[in-house]
Chains A and B, each alone.
Chain A
Amino acid sequence: MTLFLQFFLTGIVTGSFLILATIGFSFTRRVEGFLNIAHAELLGVSAFTVWGLNNLLGWHIVPAAVVGIVFTALVGLAIGRIVYDPIRKLGPSVLLITSVGVAYAIGGTVDALVGTGIRTLDIPLATSYRFWGLRITDYQMLVVAFAAVATGSLALFLNKTSMGLAIRAISANPELAASRGIDVKSTSRITWMISSGLAGLSGTMLAIVATLSTDIAFHQILQILAVAILAGLGSLYAVIAAGLIVGVAMDLSVFWIPAGYRPLIAFAVVILVLLFRPEGLAGKKSR
């Protein structure tokens, strides 16, 4: 029973990480209207920027993380402006396919700069705490805390600020929003900054809790897609629920089936959801 609860707890941590990794992706989908396959590559950009500053230049982890996240936000903004903006009129399918090219370009750049091999940050080892026989490390708690703070502040931003309202207006009906005088360009810029910054945050978290190799980004996109689909490619709260469901399902699955199938759980979720509820958990029927 303790083991079961332990898997459940680890699942919550995995889920929190998935939430962090997915909100930016889901946010882009909502405002920009397409699936940005290259989103996960931004996790890699941030993880390896932090690693480079921390390991190669000897920076403390905190400034390294801040610079890494800001840098990733700017990279995301630049890609949004240079690559996606000019082809927006070609429709979501072309944007989706283009993002594969973007993923190649970013992944290749990271590969060229970093090379192969496994990297770790130069930070103290995680301290493990015990509560009622369950283990959790301080870094794991950090992931959960950041997921809570990031989703909380994003919710506040979307609901309480005028920029947030503008973003919501655009995601609901771009033509109407534009005709009512909302500046589509500047909201688009803010969207790219926020979603890429969130990717940067989750990449930094990944660098802290896991060992890094340049192919991690690709493995993340699979799980990000799973969470986003389960969430119905939309609401922030659905992303939270979906992240926790997928995280817990993946970690609990180890209880019954071989651990090698853990990533497969995420995909079984995608297939089942799309077959039975094509619009996702919280989605509305649109066709």
Chain B
Amino acid sequence: MTLYSLILTTLTFGAMFSVLTLSLNLQYARGGMINFGTVAYFAAGAYAYAIFTQEPPSGLDQYAFGFGLPWYLGFLAAGVASLLFALVTGWPTLRLRGEYLALTTFAFAEVLHSFLLNERRIGNGSVGLSNVERPDPTLIGLNDMLTYAMAAVALMLVTAFFFHRLLKSPFGRTVDAIHDDEIAAQAIGKDGARIRLQVFVISAIPIGFAGALYAMTTTLVSPALFTAEITFFVWIALALGGEKTILGAILGTLALVFFQEAVGSIPFESVRAAQIAASVEEVVTGILFIIVLRWQPWEKLSRRAKA
């Protein structure tokens, strides 16, 4: 892999996953909610996109619906699907706090995963949906990879900008007030559970869009692509980048994706060597994560900057 394609891949997937990290940042650092099921909203978006754009089933296909719609409708459907899934999972669970919320969201993600795997009528079961429809930028003379990288970056920037504005608005101040002192916020008539649900649902929408973009880029959706590893990956990225800032969330994700892609692009002599490299990469990621959470260098830096 050349340096150019390494950077492009990092940008594409890094920007895409940054959207997830940004949403977690909003949910955790601002809303105080531990969402351990992020992958589910991502999967909901990707599957919605694939199902809306896929040709109707024929022959040996086992999925029930394929609407054959154009890509932009699929893209919208992805955001809506993620929003609906956030409503369905958030509405009953957001009165739970801390680790209990972490566990229920995790459980919901596993339930969705299990359904996608076993219920062939949704998305062809473990086979998944392949040849997912995608707009072809080469038709108008654009480079394929570059365009998808740009699209991912654009989605990331729009999400970051939107979240930034949201947090600066009166709504954002309410969110912070509830995070700092829920009882005081309630005393002035702010309903904590309701605001939390709003934050949860709003932050799920871009995850759905990222899912659609992911399906377009890889042209495949299958349960194996949407495991809890993604959730944990995003958490690690968030901790690496420093959980309080939007820029940190983005840089953390880009750095982590770059690190993984770089290790993945080393040409190994044997399969075993590549396996070991992948495992060592996992170990290094885990240790980095532990170190960052322990010493919290970014928190200290930002505190020093303020002082």
A residues sitting closer than 8 Å to B (CB atoms) are: 34-35, 83, 86-87, 90, 92-94, 96-98, 100-109, 111-112, 115-116, 218, 222, 225-226, 229, 258, 260-261, 263-264, 267-268, 270-271, 274-275, 278
B283 x A94 contact (CB < 8 A)? no
Distance of A103 Cα from B286 Cα, bound (Å): 7
Distance of A27 Cα from B278 Cα, bound (Å): 33
CB distance from A200 to the nearest CB of B (A): 20
Which positions 86-127 of chain B face chain A at CB distance < 8 Å? Answer: 92-93, 95-96, 98-100, 102-104, 106-108, 110-111, 114-115, 117-118
CB distance from A161 to the nearest CB of B (A): 29
Chain B 266-284 near chain A by CB (<8 Å), digits 1 or 0: 0000001001101111111
A104 x B293 contact (CB < 8 A)? no
A112 x B276 contact (CB < 8 A)? yes
Nearest 4 A/B pairs, CB to CB: A108-B282, A104-B286, A105-B286, A101-B289
B285 x A104 contact (CB < 8 A)? yes
- Give the number of residues in B that approach A within 8 Å (Cβ atoms): 43
Distance of A105 Cα from B107 Cα, bound (Å): 23
B166 contacts A by Cβ under 8 Å: no
Query: CB < 8 Å: which of B96, B107, B276, B282 contacts A267?
Result: B107
Distance of A267 Cα from B108 Cα, bound (Å): 8
B103 x A109 contact (CB < 8 A)? no
> Which candidate, B49-57, B138-146, B185-193, B231-239, is the interface stretch facing chain A?
B231-239
Evaluate whether A97 and B235 lie within 8 angstroms (CB atoms) in the complex, with A104-B286, A109-B283, A229-B103 already known: yes
Evaluate whether A93 and B99 lie within 8 angstroms (CB atoms) in the complex, with A86-B294, A112-B279, A267-B110 already known: yes
A104 x B118 contact (CB < 8 A)? no
Chain B neighbourhood of A105, CB < 8 A? 282-283, 286-287, 290
Determine the residue in chain A with the shortest Cβ distance to B104. A274
B250 contacts A by Cβ under 8 Å: no
17 A-B pairs, CB-CB below 8 angstroms? A92-B99, A93-B34, A98-B289, A101-B239, A102-B290, A103-B286, A104-B283, A107-B286, A112-B275, A115-B272, A225-B103, A225-B107, A229-B103, A263-B114, A264-B110, A267-B114, A268-B111
Task: Identify 17 new A-B residue pairs, CB closer than 8 A, beyond the known A96-B102, A225-B106, A274-B104.
Answer: A90-B293, A92-B99, A97-B34, A97-B235, A101-B287, A107-B286, A108-B279, A108-B282, A111-B279, A112-B276, A226-B107, A258-B118, A263-B114, A264-B110, A264-B118, A267-B114, A278-B95
Distance of A98 Cα from B239 Cα, bound (Å): 9
Distance of A97 Cα from B285 Cα, bound (Å): 13
Distance of A108 Cα from B293 Cα, bound (Å): 19
CB distance from A262 to the nearest CB of B (A): 9
B281 x A108 contact (CB < 8 A)? yes
